[in-house]
Amino acid sequence: MKVIRKTSTKKGISTSSMPDIIFMLLIFFMVTTVMREFEGLKVLLPTARTIEKLESKRHTTYIWASKDGLVNIDDRIIQGQGLRNIIYKKISSDPKLTISLKSDEDAQMKVITDIHTEMRNAQALKLNYSALTKID
Amino acid sequence: MFKSNRREPEEINSSSMADIAFLLLVFFLVTTTISMDKGLNLVLPPAGEELEVNRKNITNILINESGKVLFDEKPAKAREISRLVSDKLRKNDKMIFSVQTHSRTKYSDYILILDQLKIAKASRISIANPDQ
C-alpha cells in the first residue's frame, strides 16, 4: 500500500498584517501633517546663534516682510491698519497664538517696528523672529 | 439541470488594500513638511504701558543705519556686545537693555544684536520705537 503524505508546508513570510502596518504609518502621518496654506513672500532669513524652536505649528501665524517693505499675512499684501484687524481676529480665536515673523535680512527696521506696533495694539505679544542657524 | 446551491463564501478581495494604503501613505509622506521653523523668541510689552524705570537700571543700545552700535554711549563692535551685556548683568541683574534702531537700520543688524543679548542670557529686553 502506498501512502501519500500531505505534509507540504507553505514557505514565505505572511503578508496578511501588511495592510495593518501600513495603515498605522498612514494614520501617524495623517495626524502629524499640517497642510501648508500659504507660500508667502520671497525672503532671505537672517542667521542667529541662540535659536529656539516654535512651540506649536498649530498656534502659529506667519507674517512675511520683504526687503521692499511689503508685508504679507495669509497670502495678502497688507498696508497700514489692516494688519491690526487680522491679528486681532486671529488672537481672539486662538489666545495661544505666536506670530512668526519671516523677514528678509535686508528689510528696514521701519517695517519691523510697524509690525511690532500693530501686534501690540492687537494684544498679540508673542513674537518669534524666524532665523536660520548661524554656522561659523 | 440542478444548480448547486453551494457557493463559494463571498468576500471582498482585500489583496489591494495594502496598495491603497501605500498610496495614501506616500501622499502624506510627500506633503508632510517637518517643522523647520526656528528663531528668536520675544514677548512684546502690552500697548500703552509705560513704566518709569530708574536710569541706573537701563542700558541703551543704539544701532544706526549702517549697522554701527553705540552701547551705553560708547561705540562697540557687534561681537563684543554679549560680553559687555554679561558684565552689566553681573553688576546689576535687574538691568534692562533697550534696543533702539534707526528706521533705515537693516533687520539683520538688529537680529545680530538681539542674538548677542540672548547669548548673554539677558531676559529684560526692550525695543524702543525709532521715532522716540
Q: What is the CATH number of the domain that holds A129?
A: 3.30.420.270
Best A109, A111, A121, A127 member to test B by mutation, with max B CBs in 10 Å, is A109
* Residue A36: inside a domain: no
* Residue A70: inside a domain: yes
* Residue A98: inside a domain: yes
The residue in chain A having the minimum alpha-carbon distance to the alpha carbon of residue B102 is A109
Output b/e per residue, A45-65; b: 16+ Cβ within 10 A: bbbbbbbeebeeeeebbbbbb
- CA B127, distance to chain mean position in Å, is 16
Nearest by CB to residue A109, choosing from B21, B37, B110, is B110
CA distance B54 to chain A (A): 24
Q: Where are the domains of chain B?
A: 55-128
Separation between Cα atoms, residue B120 and residue B132, nearest integer Å: 26
Question: Where in the sequence is the domain holding A120, given as residue range(s)?
Answer: 47-133
* Residue A26: inside a domain: no
Nearest by CB to residue A100, choosing from B17, B33, B37, is B37
The residue in chain A having the minimum alpha-carbon distance to the alpha carbon of residue B44 is A125
ipTM surpassing 0.95, yes or no? no
Separation between Cα atoms, residue B131 and residue B46, nearest integer Å: 18
Residuewise pLDDT in 10s, chain B (132 residues): 555 566 677 777 777 877 888 888 888 888 776 656 788 888 888 877 677 777 788 888 888 888 888 888 888 888 888 888 888 888 888 888 888 888 888 888 888 888 888 888 888 888 877 654
User: In which element (H, E) is residue B127 found?
Assistant: strand B125-128
* Residue A4: inside a domain: no
Across the interface, do B40 and A108 touch by the CB < 8 Å criterion?
Answer: no
* Residue A9: inside a domain: no
Separation between Cα atoms, residue A96 and residue B44, nearest integer Å: 14
Q: Which CATH number fits domain B55-128: 3.40.250.10, 1.10.10.60, 3.40.50.300, 3.30.420.270?
A: 3.30.420.270
Grid cell at residue A89: 481676529
Question: What does residue A64 show for φ and ψ, rounded to 5 degrees?
Answer: -105, 140
Q: Which of A25, A14, A32 has the alpha carbon at shortest distance from B21?
A: A25
* Residue A13: inside a domain: no
pTM of the predicted structure, to 2 decimals? 0.73
Nearest by CB to residue A30, choosing from B28, B103, B104, is B28
Separation between Cα atoms, residue B100 and residue B64, nearest integer Å: 9
Predicted confidence (pLDDT) per residue in A30-64, tens digit: 887 776 666 777 888 888 888 888 877 778 888 88
Predicted confidence (pLDDT) per residue in A106-127, tens digit: 888 888 888 888 888 888 888 9
* Residue A11: inside a domain: no
Question: What does residue A17 show for φ and ψ, rounded to 5 degrees?
Answer: -95, 0
Across the interface, do A116 and B110 touch by the CB < 8 Å criterion?
Answer: no
Q: State which amino acid sits at residue B51.
A: L
Across A1-136, the runs of DSSP E, i.e. the strands, are: 47-48, 52-53, 60-65, 71-73, 76-78, 98-103, 126-130, 132-133
